[in-house]
Amino acid sequence: MALPKALTTPPPPVSNVLLTFPAPHVLLITLNRPASLNAIPSRQHAELDALYRWYDSEPHLRAAVLTGSGRAFCAGADLKEWDARHNVPSSSAPESKKEESWTTAGFGGLSNRVGKKPVIAAVNGLCLGGGMEMVLNCDIVVADEEKARFGLPEVTRGVVALAGALPRVVRTVGRQRAAEMALLGRMYGAREMEGWGIVNFVVKGDVVGEAVKVAEEVAGNSPDAVVVSREGLRLGWEGVGPVLGTEMLATGMYGRIDGGENMKEGVRSFVERRKARWVDSKL
């Protein structure tokens, strides 16, 4: 893995993940357990959380894309690991068999992530359970028209989507559609999820390439403005009213960029009719 010279620190080690940098300021994260449909084992949640924290702390990086290798984006939790752990009597289970919960950032370090910078999902195939929980907390979703399949099948296996998806899917698609998804456990195609407001872009073919283009578009904007705009969206997502949310943003994070170098550059580039030359964000 060739690291951009502008990085201040190397990324933390993460098992079963490939890291690449396909465009300036863009990080591509590829889940890489294709034989297991990129199911995420318990030990990997904290590692992915650390990766996203590193991404947020690296000034050079401005957008991240998450995808999977093989025919799945992510099929959720590793049910073979779960079965082995939960079918051993707790009194006799070795330490390695005991449940390892994810961090406050949730499944895959992402399903409950607050974060600072955007994450774009490139859904290349099966996106089920925990995979769907991660997607519901991504900022932008790009999906393969033919191969992407979405769902929360937990109820068909006697478990519950407990990593943040249930309250989020209600806000995204409304109560009845959310109930259909969560209580029936069905799978849905990319076009249907686009109609429900979960998927932004449906593409034929190179879904990762399209997601990287979207990430490049994000990275081409002011990194300060992207971070602060995302924070404003998060305040609304968390249920803060428009007036209070705007006031919190204006007196909080916005004050840190008001009149700053990137703001001045953006206005100056408009006046001079040229492309803006951003500096890395100090937020």
State which amino acid sits at residue 262. Answer: N
Cα dihedral across residues 4, 219, 213, 271: positive or negative: negative
Indicate if 154 belongs to the active site: yes
Catalytically annotated residue among 47, 58, 81, 133: 133
* pLDDT, mean of residues 209-231: 97
pLDDT, residue 71, reads: 96
Q: Tell me: pLDDT of 94 over 60.
A: no
The residues near 159 (Cβ < 8 Å, ≥ 6 apart) are none
* The CATH number of the domain covering residues in 17-219: 3.90.226.10
Percentage of the chain surpassing pLDDT 70? 92
Catalytically annotated residue among 47, 81, 154, 210: 154
Percentage of the chain surpassing pLDDT 90? 72
Higher pLDDT, 148 or 250: 148
* pLDDT, mean of residues 141-153: 97
pLDDT, residue 88, reads: 56
Name the segment(s) of the chain with CATH classification 3.90.226.10. Answer: 17-219
Beta bridge partners of 31: 17, 68
* pLDDT, mean of residues 219-228: 97
DSSP, collapsed to helix, strand or coil, labels residue 280 as: coil
Q: What is the largest CA-CA distance in the chain?
A: 72
> Structure pTM?
0.90
**Model confidence band, residue 82 (pLDDT cutoffs 50, 70, 90):** low
Q: Tell me: pLDDT of 99 over 50.
A: no
Residue 170 CA to its chain's centroid (Å): 18
The residues near 245 (Cβ < 8 Å, ≥ 6 apart) are 232, 235, 236
Q: Tell me: pLDDT of 100 over 90.
A: no
Indicate if 133 belongs to the active site: yes
pLDDT, residue 140, reads: 98
